[in-house]
């Protein structure tokens, strides 16, 4: 069933009152611990704070410390290959699905594939699609103006790169932007328990290393090594590559369109993020499945989406109309040439 053609029967608000026994159990758990494991417990009072909530951020900080495990476990070609594959697949789930699908509805897909890619994106440990899309919608509605959660001109490089989601305010899902997605119980579940996909993924990566150590010992890997490279180091690289679009892509690069914000096109960031670095293009026409508007603007996410379309897994990829390409140019439209 296409994502937007869903039943009214599954409509429900994001947060509902918990049953009494559940409330009692929750009250026995310290609030700081509860918030790590159940985002329904996010403190609405703390949510008005723009101060960094260091205790809540401990899992994010611990990921960086765990990535240093690569110096302890050593390396092997297979562990590096798994780390690269783990980076690429999860980056695509973030760019293709968290961003272009859940945030901008740039194409359509089935409910099953939507759920699968929501889970794969969740393995990137960047929370769930509803949290991600809700903050991104806020970014597009206030780009580089008061109200933008991560503008480098307003909150500096560090604030726009990572500081913005480390605050009480940053941890809350801005539910008014994602009411459509809240109708899917599986997405609400991921929104509530966003730590599950990364944990499952980490366990699978460890298991792969453990199996290879026993059955293919000549490969020189093991569970801890595979976990350090394929999950912790890969996830930290994935974090900071993704975050560059909020920090560096709003200042570093060139402008093709007058978008009223500081967004830039940057080929290096596009390479690093599978196409998201064409950020000035994106702010000019956010609804397109394609962010590299010309053939020389490498947009790997778009090519993967085209392949998925051929397989029948996604459809109705939205394109950039010719009139949009010619509008608000700050360079010469003729410089665009053939697409
Ligand atoms: Zn932006
Ligand atoms: Zn966007």
Any domain includes 229: yes
Q: Report the C-alpha gap between 79 and 47 in whole angstroms.
A: 39
Any domain includes 336: no
pLDDT digits (tens, 9 = 90+) for 9-67: 334 444 444 555 666 666 677 777 788 888 887 756 555 677 888 988 999 999 999 99
Do strands 314-315 and 108-109 pair parallel, antiparallel, or not at all (unpaired)?
antiparallel
In this predicted structure, what is the pLDDT of residue 322?
93
Ligand number nearest to the C-alpha of 148: 1
pLDDT digits (tens, 9 = 90+) for 270-286: 999 999 999 999 999 99
Cα–Cα distances in angstroms (integers) from residue 173 to residues 133, 178, 198, 226, 335, in the given order:
9, 9, 19, 33, 41
Span from the CA of 140 to the centroid of ligand 1 (angstroms): 7
Span from the CA of 62 to the centroid of ligand 1 (angstroms): 28
Contact by Cβ (8 Å): 10, 183: yes
Any domain includes 19: no
Q: Which domain holds residue 107?
A: 43-329
Number of domains in the chain: 1
Any domain includes 123: yes
Any domain includes 3: no
Angle at 48 between CA 44 and CA 49, to 5 degrees: 120
CA 177 to chain CA centroid, nearest Å: 16
Span from the CA of 235 to the centroid of ligand 2 (angstroms): 21
CA 137 to chain CA centroid, nearest Å: 13
pTM: predicted TM-score of the whole model, two decimal places: 0.89
Residue closest to 149 by CA, chosen among 157, 158, 139, 140 = 139
Any domain includes 36: no
Any domain includes 67: yes
Any domain includes 335: no
Q: Report the C-alpha gap between 265 and 278 in whole angstroms.
A: 4
Span from the CA of 260 to the centroid of ligand 2 (angstroms): 15
In this predicted structure, what is the pLDDT of residue 15?
46
Ligand number nearest to the C-alpha of 246: 1
Q: Report the C-alpha gap between 18 and 192 in whole angstroms.
A: 13
């Amino acid at each position: 069933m296409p994502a937007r053609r869903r039943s009214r029967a599954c409509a429900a608000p994001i947060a509902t009152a918990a049953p009494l026994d559940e409330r009692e159990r929750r009250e026995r758990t310290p609030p700081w611990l509860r918030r790590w494991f159940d985002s329904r417990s996010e403190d609405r009072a703390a949510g008005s704070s723009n101060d960094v909530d260091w205790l809540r951020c401990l899992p994010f900080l611990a990921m960086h410390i765990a990535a240093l495990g690569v110096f302890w476990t050593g390396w092997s070609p297979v562990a590096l290959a798994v780390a690269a594959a783990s980076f690429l697949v999860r980056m695509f789930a973030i760019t293709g699905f968290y961003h272009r699908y859940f945030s901008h509805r740039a194409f359509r897909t089935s409910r099953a594939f939507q759920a699968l890619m929501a889970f794969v994106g969740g393995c990137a440990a960047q929370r769930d699609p509803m949290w991600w899309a809700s903050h991104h919608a806020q970014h597009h509605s206030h780009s580089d103006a008061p109200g933008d959660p991560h503008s480098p001109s307003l909150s500096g490089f560090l604030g726009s790169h990572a500081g913005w989601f480390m605050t009480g305010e940053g941890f809350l899902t801005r539910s008014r932007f994602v009411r459509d997605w809240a109708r899917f119980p599986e997405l609400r579940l991921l929104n509530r328990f966003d730590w599950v996909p990364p944990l499952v993924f980490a366990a699978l990566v460890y298991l792969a290393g453990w199996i290879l150590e026993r059955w293919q010992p000549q490969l020189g890997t093991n569970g801890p090594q595979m976990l350090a490279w394929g999950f912790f180091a890969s996830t930290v690289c994935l974090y900071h590559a993704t975050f560059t679009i909020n920090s560096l892509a709003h200042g570093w690069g060139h402008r093709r369109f007058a978008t009223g914000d500081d967004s830039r096109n940057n080929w290096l960031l596009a390479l690093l993020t599978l196409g998201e670095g064409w950020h000035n293009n994106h702010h000019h026409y956010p609804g397109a499945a394609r962010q590299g508007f010309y053939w020389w603007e490498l947009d790997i996410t778009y090519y993967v989406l085209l392949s998925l379309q051929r397989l029948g897994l996604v459809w109705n990829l939205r394109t950039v109309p010719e009139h949009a390409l010619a509008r608000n140019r700050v360079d010469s439209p003729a410089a665009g040439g053939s697409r």
